[in-house]
Amino acid sequence: MGKVIFIGAGPGAADLITVRGARALARADVVLFDALTDPALRELAPNARWVDVGKRGFADSTGQATINALLVRHAREVPLVVRLKGGDPSVFGRLEEELEALAHAGIAGEVIPGVTAALAAAADSRLPLTRRGGGRSVALTTAMTREGALRGGRGADTEVFYMAGRQLAALARRLRDAGWNDDTPASVVSRAGWPDALASMHCIATLGQASVLHSGRPTVVTVGAGAAALAAMSRADSESPLLETGQAQVETPSA
């Protein structure tokens, strides 16, 4: 009987995986990988069998029951199976269901954390999620429920919404309904953690403008204290509307 290690691949480029994750991946006999993991990670385990079990949104390319069965089957056949998940396995990664499937089959499991998209978005936009004195709490949520309902809550100083890119104008309305003011800052980052990441700064009143810029790209929206522009950034923006932060572009559109 083999073992399964769940590894967070990080939110984008291959070098965002942790050192521990990379070392464990290199020992894998079979790798079950998500759709958004960087193909360059294959270089870390060139002799492993790689099995695509990716999903896109709520339209499953590979059903969860199938993934569970594959984990169990391969763990019975080889010493080490790696379940490679985008971001961090414990954040919107259905980790609970897969751990339960292993437990029911009597198979050992281990979890190696990874960098989640909210942290990569904060890095790409140069906007810290927590702020001294005014941003003490952060909430992570999916913008859309499995039933297709759009969520817009206010449970923390900073709210981060995953998978929000297609309905930014509607999200802004939900945020107003939840009690956020129109002038509340909002940051939108698409392809967080990748070399072509895009970050744009808005307020709730202008959030819908980001839809065109980020169209068709995995998107993270940060609202509240963690989206407020830094004083130094505000001065730079007054001189130039487009900045480069590392390899990510940060754009501040007009209201």
- Closest by Cα among 225, 152, 126, 220 to 185: 225
Mean pLDDT on 173-182? 93
CA-angle at 9, arms to 120 and 157, nearest 5°: 35
Instruction: Sort strands 158-162 and 219-224 into parallel, antiparallel or unpaired.
Output: antiparallel
Name the active-site residue from 3, 55, 60, 237. 55
Question: Is-catalytic flag, 3?
Answer: no
Domains of the chain: 3-112 (3.40.1010.10), 117-251 (3.30.950.10)
For the cut 70, the answer to whether the pLDDT of residue 251 exceeds it is: no
pLDDT at 146: 64
Question: Is-catalytic flag, 55?
Answer: yes
For the cut 50, the answer to whether the pLDDT of residue 241 exceeds it is: no
Q: How confident is the model at residue 147 (pLDDT cuts 50, 70, 90)?
A: low
Mean pLDDT on 65-70? 96
Question: Is-catalytic flag, 34?
Answer: yes
Q: Give the C-alpha separation, 76 to 243, whole Å.
A: 52
- Closest by Cα among 114, 119, 120, 170 to 143: 170
Name the active-site residue from 34, 88, 124, 157. 34
For the cut 50, the answer to whether the pLDDT of residue 160 exceeds it is: yes
Name the active-site residue from 144, 163, 201, 233. 163
Q: Give the tens place of pLDDT for each residue, 32-42.
A: 999 889 999 99
Q: Give the C-alpha separation, 252 to 193, whole Å.
A: 20
Instruction: Share the mean pLDDT of the chain.
Output: 88
Q: Is 12 exposed, middle or buried (0-12, 13-18, 19+ CB in 10 A)?
A: buried
For the cut 80, the answer to whether the pLDDT of residue 248 exceeds it is: no
What whole-number percentage of the chain has pLDDT above 70? Answer: 85
* 230 SS3 class: coil
Cβ(76)–Cβ(68) below 8 Å: no
For the cut 50, the answer to whether the pLDDT of residue 71 exceeds it is: yes
> 101-105, 121-125, 238-242: which has the minimum mean pLDDT?
238-242
